[in-house]
Amino acid sequence: MESINTKIETIDWNTVTAQMHEKGYAIVPKFINQKQCNTLTGLYPSVSAYRKTVVMERYRFGLGEYKYFNYPLPKIVREIRQGLYPKLAPIANLWMKVLKIDRKFPETLQELLEQCHKNNQLKPTPLILKYGKGGFNTLHQDLYGDIYFPLQAVLFLDQPDIDYSGGEFVLTQQTPRAQSKAMVLRPQKGDMLIFTTNFRPIKGTKGYYRARIKHGVSQLHHGQRHTLGIIFHDALS
């Protein structure tokens, strides 16, 4: 079986980088195989694997449930998080440069996490989300503290139109002095979506400006939908 690290190295990162600059997101098809998807889904009932369970309805976040992993992360989750970060840091740093933001992200995930921990952001943020019929997730951003990384990833663990219907991934882009733009995506089982956590740069007539991005999930019509969220910074709580 191809390892996670090998798979990450075989991704066409030039294409991913170009798509991130152009759209603020990129889809990597068949990033993990069916067995790996099923392994991750199979972790959901575990109690010891997680530090916190959130029932979305209680907080008016939507209808569904998600669980944050404990440290140490499961091997596959840890390898994805550690392996992706160095590939995404150059994109994040270029965004900071063109937007003239005085921030440079370190080359390794460990260095980023050290920055988080100095800011008392000690809690792991990778999570698995589960939706049933009628489930949805309201538009939001995954920031968790003053120290955050501007890119994140989500892996799709079920097959649309077979395991569930509806449940599209939704991105909205808020452009200054204009109406918001919605992008509706339907990745397949095993695909990985990389997207912006907070904002992305867009080139205007007077240079680059920030376009704020939120994400969510549309309502499921039937079935169950699981995803693995990979957030690189740690959380305050």
What is the 8-class DSSP label of residue 37? H
Predicted TM-score (pTM) of the model is: 0.96
Residue 237 has pLDDT above 90, yes or no: no
Q: Measured between alpha carbons, how far is 211 from 198 in angstroms, rounded to an integer?
A: 9
For 57-98, how does the pLDDT look when each residue is reduced to its tens digit (9 = 90+)? 999 999 999 999 999 999 999 999 999 999 999 999 999 999
pLDDT class for 211, splitting at 50, 70, 90?
very high
Q: Determine the Cα–Cα distance for residues 231 and 229; give it in Å rounded to an integer.
A: 6
Query: Where do the domains of the chain lie, and which CATH numbers do they carry?
Result: 4-230 (2.60.120.620)
Contacts for 168 with CB less than 8 Å, ≥ 6 apart: 184, 185, 186, 217, 218
Question: Which amino acid makes up residue 96?
Answer: M
Where does the pLDDT of residue 1 fall: very low under 50, low under 70, confident under 90, or very high at 90 and above? low
pLDDT at site 179: 87
Helices (H), the chain: 4-10, 13-23, 34-42, 75-98, 109-118
Residue 102: is its pLDDT beyond 60? yes
Residue 169: CA count within 13 A, CB half-sphere = 23
HSE-up (13 A, CA, CB side) for residue 174: 9
**Residues 6+ away with beta carbon under 8 Å from 218:** 136, 166, 167, 168, 170, 184
Q: What's the pLDDT at 61? A: 96
Determine the Cα–Cα distance for residues 173 and 170; give it in Å rounded to an integer: 10
Amino acid at 26: A
- Indicate the burial class of 78 (C-beta count within 10 angstroms; 0-12, 13-18, 19 or more): middle
What's the mean pLDDT in 119-146?
Answer: 97
Which pair of structure tokens corresponds to residue 124? 């792991």
